[in-house]
Amino acid sequence: MPEPLPGQHYYRATAAAADYPAIDGKADYAICIIGGGFAGLATAMSLMERGQRDVVLLEAATVGYGASGRNGGFVFGGFSLGERGLVRAVGLDNARKLYALTLDAVATIRRRIRQYEIDCELREEGVYLANWFGDERILDAQQRLMADSLGVEWQRIGRAELAGRLLTDRYSGALFEPGAFHFHPLKYARGLARALAGGGIRLHEQSRATGIVRDGSGWRVRTAAGEVRARDVVICCGGYLERLSPRLAGAMLPIATYVMATEALGERMQTALRTGAAVYDTRFAFDYYRPLADTRLLWGGRIAVRERSPADVARLLYGDMLRVYPQLAGVKVDYAWSGKMSYGRHKMPQLGRLPDGQWYGMGFGGHGVAPTTLAGEVLAAALCGDGADLARFAPWKLPPTGGAAGLFAAQLTYWYYELRDRLRE
């Protein structure tokens, strides 16, 4: 298998970058957002759409640098906690309302793509949850849960019908989510940034926040070359938070995941996929993949406590791909990369306000595209005086994750569930 391109990921190689200058000197704004990923961008968008334009966004690297610009590109409802866990945690009524917020977020993403003319390779062809195991009760139970508890209809696809779309004998059937879609996440992130800049929101890249200190009734946010004074500060840094806020860092685990993209397959794609939909499966340690606009196959999976080299990522995921589609043996891997997601112990988004008054949005895990948009909406509403939806996330606070010991425990947990998946086969 040829080596993937070193130090490069597919999204970065195929998304045009804009140049937002680093902040230089002092400036005053009503609201300072720290983090140029989906959560920070969505908060700024929701503020702008409410008429609040006295906003600055600081990004340590470039817009979409972290998980927002490296992920699988799936856009659908739900949280990393999962639907059953959500119902157990807050009861049926609250779970239904929270899940509905994620579906609203999916609609918001679709609306913004069209309203702001964001070219992000939108493919509105749905998502399959494919059953890795032979037990059909898995899909039966999930379909009933979605319909009866959350009011959502997923379509049942039998083995024979699915085999005509996914040319593998690996799956025993699937559930199809027709309202879901997939896209190029970095192009979307950078499209949001362009819309924000055009709407009067100030963005600064290469402007890592190095400290946040109280300044009267507001805050001063320091960078290497500048300083922002603001009434409110919103921290949306995810797995790349580092030491900016010890309280938040102690409640989050930065977990890595892996992704690769093959060479352009052309007609060979039809030997494996005869659908434009995205796919993931019913294991805890699941694969996720989708056909790209240029006929590459993007393939992701696995989680770990550390990032890996492109060569290591390609080796691992190539083997995973051939387990499902052995007919793709010999296909070249052009890109492979890893990136860090942020997880809370409870696997729900962590949205709220610290006792000192700083706002935060993080902990989106591996299910973040819609929830980050949801986060931006509820944080913006709260900043404008309406905290009703933000209060729905009060049950999930900031429990400590245990630092290095917590990361080790997370890795052991993943290995345990991975082994359980294999035994279940």
Confidence of residue 420 (pLDDT cuts 50, 70, 90): confident
Rounded to the nearest integer, the mean pLDDT of the chain is: 93
Residues 236-264 have pLDDT tens digits of: 998 888 889 989 988 888 888 899 999 99
CA distance 279 to 295: 16
Instruction: Output the 3-class SS for 66-105.
Output: CHHHCCCCEECCCCCCCHHHHHHHHHHHHHHHHHHHHHHH
pLDDT band for position 83 (cuts 50, 70, 90): very high
Domain 10-71+186-253+345-409: CATH superfamily is: FAD/NAD(P)-binding domain (3.50.50.60)
Q: Give the mean pLDDT of 85-103.
A: 96
Given a cut of 60, is residue 194 above it in pLDDT? yes
Residue 417: in which H helix or E strand, if any? helix 403-424
Quick one: average pLDDT of 194-206? 98
Specify whether the CB–CB gap between 368 and 71 falls below 8 A.
yes
The model's pLDDT over 350-409, given as tens digits with 9 standing for 90+, comes to 999 999 999 999 999 888 899 999 999 999 999 999 999 999 999 998 988 777 776 666
| Per-residue confidence (pLDDT) for residue 75, from 0 to 100 | 98
Q: Looking at residue 47, what is its pLDDT?
A: 98
CATH of domain 123-181+254-343: 3.30.9.10
Contact between residue 263 and residue 332 where contact means Cβ atoms under 8 Å apart: yes
Nearest CA among 88, 351, 38, 58 for reference residue 221: 58
pLDDT digits (tens, 9 = 90+) for 216-241: 999 999 999 999 999 999 999 988 88
Q: 7-16, 270-279, 390-399: lowest mean pLDDT where?
A: 7-16
Higher pLDDT, 401 or 192: 192
Q: Is the model's pLDDT at 121 over the cut of 70?
A: yes
Distance of alpha carbon 16 from alpha carbon 355, whole angstroms? 40
Highest mean pLDDT, choosing among 2-16, 189-203, 241-255: 189-203
What are 134-161's pLDDT values in tens digits? 899 999 999 999 999 999 999 999 999 9
Q: Measured between alpha carbons, how far is residue 100 from residues 109, 304, 370, 374, 402 in Å? A: 14, 30, 11, 10, 32
Higher pLDDT among residues 18 and 265, named by residue: 265
C-alpha–C-alpha distance, residues 245 and 125, integer Å: 40
- pLDDT for the residue numbered 234: 98
**Mean pLDDT, to the nearest integer, of 172-192?**
98
Q: Give the pLDDT score at 5.
A: 58
Single pTM value for the model: 0.95
Instruction: List pLDDT tens digits, range 12-28.
Output: 999 998 889 999 999 99
User: What residues does each domain of the chain span?
Assistant: 10-71+186-253+345-409, 123-181+254-343
Q: How far apart are CA 243 and CA 225, in angstroms?
A: 18
Cβ contacts of 305 within 8 Å, gap of 6 or more: 253, 255, 256, 407, 408, 410, 411
